[in-house]
Amino acid sequence: MERIVTGDQMQLLDKYTIEEMGVPSLVLMERAGLSVFEAIKKEGFSLNKILILCGSGNNGADGVVLARLLHLAGYCTDVCILGKPEKFTKEMQKQIDIGKNYGISFVKSFHISEYTVIVDAVFGVGLSREITGNLKEIILELHKFQGKIVAVDIPSGICSRTGKILGCAVKADLTVTFAYGKTGLFLYPGAEYAGKVVIADIGIYAKPEILPKPEIFTYTKGDLKEIRRKRDGNKGSFGKILLIAGSKDIFGAAYLSGMAAMKTGAGMLKICTHKENKVLFSCFPEAMLLCYEDDENITKELSEGFQWADVIGIGPGIGLGKQAESLLDTVLSQGTKPLVIDADAIGMLKGRTEQLKNYPNEVILTPHLGEFSRLTDISIKKWKENPIKITQEIAKTLSVVLVCKDARTVISNGDKNIYLNLSGNDGMASAGSGDVLTGMILSLLAQGKDGLKAACLGVYLHGAAGDLAAKRKGRAAMLAGDLIDAAGQILDEV
Ligand SMILES: NC(=O)C1=CN([C@@H]2O[C@H](COP(=O)(O)OP(=O)(O)OC[C@H]3O[C@@H](n4cnc5c(N)ncnc54)[C@H](O)[C@@H]3O)[C@@H](O)[C@H]2O)[C@@H](O)CC1
Ligand SMILES: [K+]
């Protein structure tokens, strides 16, 4: 598990480290400059001639430290200060004085074609408004640069909280960010502008009690160890899933979702679907079936299913018709086990939010942004302006674990910890991918994880499987079904 912070949180951590822990600001800055110096050398960029563009704040001061280190190591380096002298922080002034003592080259103007690497130390997490005027022109000119661009802490122009472009932004090949990843480096479009992100330890450590909430975290492959199988387990101990999925014209969703659940370790699966889908399950004999005919009332059979199951899933491919509504009502009124609601079932939740809040166990909702927007009347644009806060607020209002699915999925149970997912790729944006995720989350719930854990681990695993499938098949050619086998292999490796 790794922590991610907003720019505001980072500034508090800087302040705490300097004022409470007593580490001088210049010491942190020296480590910051040194970490960029090492990252640039490690990347193997051609370092024939380097230009460092500096603002007047402490991001600029990091840039001047870097210039000194490069100069002393024998690299041909120019510094151009774009910020106004009257705005220099005291650290910036100090770094300029030190740099002059060491004879580094300060230039007033430049031609980008003379350089092989340009370093952006104009704005860091202190960027507070849109970039305009001359500075904007310079940043836009950098888009034509043929060499490599390295951003110090965050590309100038990217909002460190939301990843939004504030007027214009530097497009970096490499971003060396300090202490913790910033949300703006991972949310789009910021993620695209950041290039490769390296997180450098400069001696700042978060004390959770001084961080304003919500706290944001992400998973990496090592966290999947939490879903290691018990060697002495039996099919009962890996959990029983009742999955209500598919309808008369749609059969693939039930198949993909069920297969994903079984192939990520669930013990037993019963699929409740329309009778016409029966034939499909001849090639999936591991699943038990509960079939209904047109307009058939299966409330009694479903109630028995609720007793049998450890967890319940409803939604993939069930359609939006009367029968689907009645299935959802039966689940909401009679179900007692942890519940995952996805796809079409989310589409029918509007007007049923009271039932949702009164459900006697954990509920996980997995909307994509279109479904989220229809359910809450919050536009996708508005969500993207503040994904962390909005996800948290809606999760709290609905009393659910909310999984807002996007290129960067955000998960919250309304409490102070928010999960931001970094695995996955655009190859997963194809039919059936969401059905597979539902199956994986159900499987982890069935294996005993609580709602938030099952959702976060499931989303991480789903993305990691997407990354492996992309490697094997290519992002355009990979299919939702490819995620299932890839996930199995990943789980076996941890
Ligand atoms: N001692 C510290 O506090 C440390 C700071 N560090 C660096 O310092 C950065 C933060 O420094 P600062 O807080 O000084 O902020 P920045 O250096 O990011 O920028 C602040 C300056 O930019 C101006 N500004 C903001 N938006 C503008 C806009 N749109 N157009 C024109 N001017 C604008 C502000 O008025 C201010 O002068 C971090 O990103 C990091 O790179 C690191 O060296 C670690 C230690
Ligand atoms: K920067």
What confidence tens digit (pLDDT) does each residue in 114-173 have? 999 999 999 999 998 999 999 999 999 999 999 999 999 999 999 999 999 999 999 999
Fold adopted by 2-212: Rossmann fold (3.40.50)
Residue 70 has pLDDT above 80, yes or no: yes
Atom 39 of ligand 1: nearest residue by CA position: 124
Ligand 1 binding pocket (C-beta < 6 A) is: 14, 18, 25, 28-29, 32, 55-60, 62, 87, 89, 123-131, 152-153, 178
What type of residue sits at position 81? I
Residue 231 has pLDDT above 80, yes or no: no
For tokens 């040194």, the residue is: 34
Rounded percentage of the chain residues whose pLDDT exceeds 70: 100
Residue 197 has pLDDT above 90, yes or no: yes
Cα angle at 264 between 260 and 268, to 5 degrees? 80
Residue 414 has pLDDT above 80, yes or no: yes
**DSSP conformational letter for 209:** G
Measured from the alpha carbon of residue 193, the closest ligand is 2
What type of residue sits at position 144? K
User: Per-residue confidence at 206, pLDDT binned at 50, 70, 90?
Assistant: confident
Q: Supply the pLDDT for residue 447.
A: 95
User: Per-residue confidence at 472, pLDDT binned at 50, 70, 90?
Assistant: very high
Residue 267 has pLDDT above 80, yes or no: yes
0.90 surpassed by complex ipTM: yes
d(Cα 405, Cα 108) in Å, to the nearest integer? 47
Residues of the chain with CATH 3.40.1190.20: 221-493
Q: Supply the pLDDT for residue 204.
A: 94
Q: Can you give the C-alpha Rg of the chain in angstroms?
A: 26
Question: Does 415 appear as a known binding residue?
Answer: no
Residues 46-65 have a mean pLDDT of 98
Residue 237 has pLDDT above 80, yes or no: no
Average pLDDT, the chain: 95
Atom 15 of ligand 1: nearest residue by CA position: 126
Question: Does 319 appear as a known binding residue?
Answer: no
- In the numeric block, which tokens belong to residue 95? 């770094």
User: Per-residue confidence at 279, pLDDT binned at 50, 70, 90?
Assistant: confident
Residues of the chain with CATH 3.40.50.10260: 2-212
Fold adopted by 221-493: UDP-N-acetylmuramoyl-L-alanine:D-glutamate ligase (3.40.1190)
Q: 164: helix, coil or strand?
A: coil
d(Cα 364, Cα 337) in Å, to the nearest integer? 12
Q: Supply the pLDDT for residue 416.
A: 86
Question: Does 124 appear as a known binding residue?
Answer: yes
